[in-house]
Amino acid sequence: MMKSFRLSLVFLVSVVVLFELIAVSHGGELRKNFYKKTCPLAEEIVKDITWKRVATNSSLPAKFLRMHFHDCFIRGCDGSVLLDSTANNTAEKEALPNQSLGGFDVIDEIKRKLEATCPGVVSCADILALAARDSVSFQFNKSMWEVLTGRRDGRISRRQEAVDNIPSATFNFTTLKQSWANKSLTAHDLVVLSGGHTIGVGHCKFFSNRLYNFTGKGDADPSLNAEYAAFLRTQCRGLSDNTTVLPQDPGSVLNFDSHYYTILKLNQGMFQSDAALMTDTQSRRLVDELVDQGTFFTKFAQSMKRMGAIEVLTGTAGEIRKKCNVVN
């Protein structure tokens, strides 16, 4: 009887150990209120500073949303986009798609406050995920989606990996779908999260080929609304315009809403990757659904939760950085 009990106990312990190993190898589990015991005010601190900064800088929601997206697409949501280059390494920040990112100073401010409150507890990866949510939520005075926490910070940040993994503004639907599938995200997530383009600006250099040289013959992209293209040409001075920025969703640049899908249906998506969403039958069907703001908000919340869990480091993987721009 005792022998049988001991064997059962050994088996049970073995199963638990195996489960823990599997959990670590798959990044463990994110969860609600991860810092409830170790840093109870963590999420409140992130929200308070984020809301205070957004109140005086309405461009921050778009910046944080984009930064979080760019972080998650390289090595998962591990805060690697926040790291500075070193003498021996060029970091993700230096990649062309990341050179226009902003808001790093606010992330640093939040981190300093958290380190003063509960040192070495809250990761930069979690700060970024929370700040993205809280910055967008400021407009509504309520939380717009759930952010599970427990991410840890990565130690590696390479410029080339950002170049290789961040979906390009010139991608067609097939290439976009594949780049998102590489991160275990679906075409549904692609269409829904593209709605984030309802806020923020686009740089002429990323879409001027659609205006001036789409096929290499000095022509415009025929899928772009002609009237809108004419307006864009009055703003973007040519293929060499590297400084001009324009609202991605004219008339709704500071409002997080479903208006992006309305302009898509009018063929006024700024980037080729926006227009690509109208080239697939199922995608077009989803665009029609997402014009409804309630539907968009619900689906955006679900897809953000999935994106925020890409290849996360948890448990003992990675580290908790003392400063977000340098490894410990």
Q: Do domains 41-165 and 173-307 have the same CATH topology?
A: no
- pLDDT at site 17: 40
User: In a 3-state reduction of DSSP, which class is residue 247?
Assistant: strand
Tokens of residue 28, six digits: 């463990």
Distance of alpha carbon 259 from alpha carbon 263, whole angstroms: 7
- pTM over cut 0.85: yes
Mean pLDDT by 10 residues, the chain (328 residues): 45 41 49 97 98 97 97 97 97 94 97 98 98 98 97 97 95 96 97 96 92 90 94 91 91 91 96 96 98 98 97 96 97
- pLDDT at site 13: 40
Neighbours of 66 (CB within 10 A): 22
- pLDDT at site 217: 87
Q: Which CATH number fits domain 41-165: 1.10.10.60, 1.10.520.10, 1.10.3710.10, 3.10.450.40?
A: 1.10.520.10
Distances (CA, A) of 135 to 68, 109, 145, 299, 326: 12, 15, 11, 18, 24
- pLDDT at site 28: 53
CATH class of 173-307: mainly alpha
- pLDDT at site 309: 96
- pLDDT at site 253: 85
Catalytically active residues, by annotation: 70
The ranges assigned to domains in the chain are 41-165, 173-307
Sign of CA dihedral 293, 283, 201, 74: positive
Distance of alpha carbon 91 from alpha carbon 74, whole angstroms: 11
User: In a 3-state reduction of DSSP, which class is residue 1?
Assistant: coil
CA 161 from chain centre, in angstroms, equals 16
- pLDDT at site 251: 80
